[in-house]
Amino acid sequence: MEFMDKQRNGLLTFSICVHLRNLWAIVLFASFMGFAEERTNVVLIVVDDMGYSDLGCYGSEIPTPNIDSLAKNGLRFRQFYNTAKCWTTRASLLTGLYHHQVTEQKILERNGVTIAEALGENGYRTIMSGKWHLSGGQLDNPEFQPLARGFDEFYGTILGAGSFYDPYTLQDGHRRIEPDEEFYYTNATTGHAVNSLRAVAKEGKPFFHYVAYTAPHWPMQAPAEEIEKHKHLYLKGWDVIREERYAKQLKLGVVDARWGASGRDSQVAAWDENDPDSEWQIHRMATYAAMLNIVDRGVGQIIDQLKTQGAFDNTLILFMSDNGGSPENIGFNNGVFCLGGSLTTLSGTQIQVGRDSGVLTGPEETFQGVGREWANVNNTPFRQFKTWCYEGGIATPLIVHWPKGITRKGELSDDLGHVIDIMATCMDVTETLYPNDYKGNEIKPHEGKSLVPVFGGEGLGERALFWDYGNHAAVRLGKWKLLAPSTKKIEWELYDMEADRCELNDLADDLPEKVQKMADLYKSWQAHVGPDRNKAKPSTAQ
């Protein structure tokens, strides 16, 4: 009887709505009767400078059980790509455009709309936790910060790198804040993410949450007890660890035996020749592992919060890295800038900046990178590193998890994806229309494809993808990849990525017509996106 009364009352309400032509009331009625479906949420998690093989589910010895659980119950991409650099990837994933189209002097322009802006127009709560890195040298200008680009809430850093204990440009909204004695940036990013999810659950709105960790980007900093947990993993040295990762990758299926594996980088000595610095080398890779393990625990907390508020099953979680592992050994000038011009900690202790085998990484008074030696392990089995257009620079793990929308649970996908596809995917799952204009600005059409068809086993179809950063360039079309190690004097290399994804056998001399066809594609794309306006004049930004 109660149900019948509810139906009668509902029909009466509906009749009134129709009579008054009140569309909003009709929507409320549909929701009341259970006709309106729950809208899909999106959590986009991006880590910084993490190599292709650094997750357990992609071959690593580093403990990442929470991220691995997303892979086990979701979908892993074997051929997903970033743009080889931190800020360029962030520009592309947030707008669906190549960075050439939507940035100038490393500042995000208004001719592209961000995911947050588009979803905000569709009633979504939009939140950002972590690294922004799209304000160029205008670090204090609120016009170029997240709250001006569609985010309702922001906690994090404007700059691209800095201390994990006292990060430069740490902000809550537009307000600069000082960390306390217990502060560690990765944990603070997680804390904000979890608290914001809890708050939005009370609002009852769908949400888009962009969680941008700076770890495991340099400096190599983590609590001493966390580093100690991981030191035993690296006693064998980088040669053995790289071989073990490759063997695990083959077993997991994230690499193909036909590709082979690139060898130790030509600038890296054999581990057996490294005896004087062994303790320091072990310690800094253990620090890297600790940093990533702390990220994994943060992901676990985000997962737990989504489950607690009943949003886990209908939230699309995407996890990826912004570029390949970094070989950078941080120098003095770089370090000073990323410390905000200070060479001392909050307590006044002098900070050691740059490679120094006499100083173990980890504490806040150190500022070092993981180095070329271990970055070569991070990017197993590929060649080269961050900023390069070889696979070691541009290949990223992508894990997608969405219980209500992914049928291929635990599978691997060979579809070609790119960070420009994140925008289209978010528009698709949230049923949001991509705008032609936004707040008086004409918006460029996005360049990407929705990944949603892949979730159900369909393909994306063939298309060309492009890279152009610094002095490096590449084109990928189907199984072929054309690559220029230097654009100062282009000498194209050509690789068959089905048989040789580690780029060991250059076929350019054998297939000149293929080279010319793909080189023409690259030239057409250059004309389409225009010149890289970030090279026009020097910038102080990282």
Q: What is the pLDDT of residues 257-300, one digit of tens each?
A: 999 999 999 999 999 987 778 999 999 999 999 999 999 999 99
Could you tell me if residue 433 is inside a domain?
Answer: yes
Could you tell me if residue 163 is inside a domain?
Answer: yes
Work out the widest C-alpha separation in the chain, in whole angstroms.
85
Could you tell me if residue 261 is inside a domain?
Answer: yes
Cβ atoms of 179 and 166 closer than 8 Å: yes
Q: What is the pLDDT of residues 183-233, one digit of tens each?
A: 999 999 999 999 999 999 999 999 999 999 999 999 999 999 999 999 999
CATH code of 397's domain: 3.40.720.10
Could you tell me if residue 491 is inside a domain?
Answer: no
Q: What is the pLDDT of residues 395-434, one digit of tens each?
A: 999 999 999 999 999 999 999 999 999 999 999 999 999 9
Could you tell me if residue 515 is inside a domain?
Answer: no
Q: What is the pLDDT of residues 483-505, one digit of tens each?
A: 999 999 899 999 999 999 999 99
**Alpha-carbon span 284 to 234, nearest angstrom:** 10
Could you tell me if residue 29 is inside a domain?
Answer: no
* Alpha helices (H) in 133-237, listed in sequence order: 185-203, 224-228
Q: What is the pLDDT of residues 342-401, one digit of tens each?
A: 788 888 899 999 889 999 999 999 999 999 999 999 999 999 999 999 999 999 999 999
Helical pair 65-72 and 278-308, crossing angle rounded to 10 deg: 50
Q: Which amino acid is at 142?
A: P
* Angle CA 66–69–73, to nearest 5: 150
pLDDT beyond 50 at 5 = no
Give strand pairing partners of 411: 75
Could you tell me if residue 393 is inside a domain?
Answer: yes
pLDDT attached to residue 13? 38
pLDDT beyond 90 at 17 = no
Domain that holds residue 361: 41-461
**Residue 471: C-alpha distances to residues 333, 483, 484 (Å):** 22, 11, 8
- pTM recorded for the entire structure: 0.92
Could you tell me if residue 522 is inside a domain?
Answer: no
Q: What total number of domains does the chain contain?
A: 1
Mean pLDDT of all residues belonging to the chain: 91
Give a three-class secondary structure readout of 263-283.
CCCCCCCCHHHCHHHHHHHHH
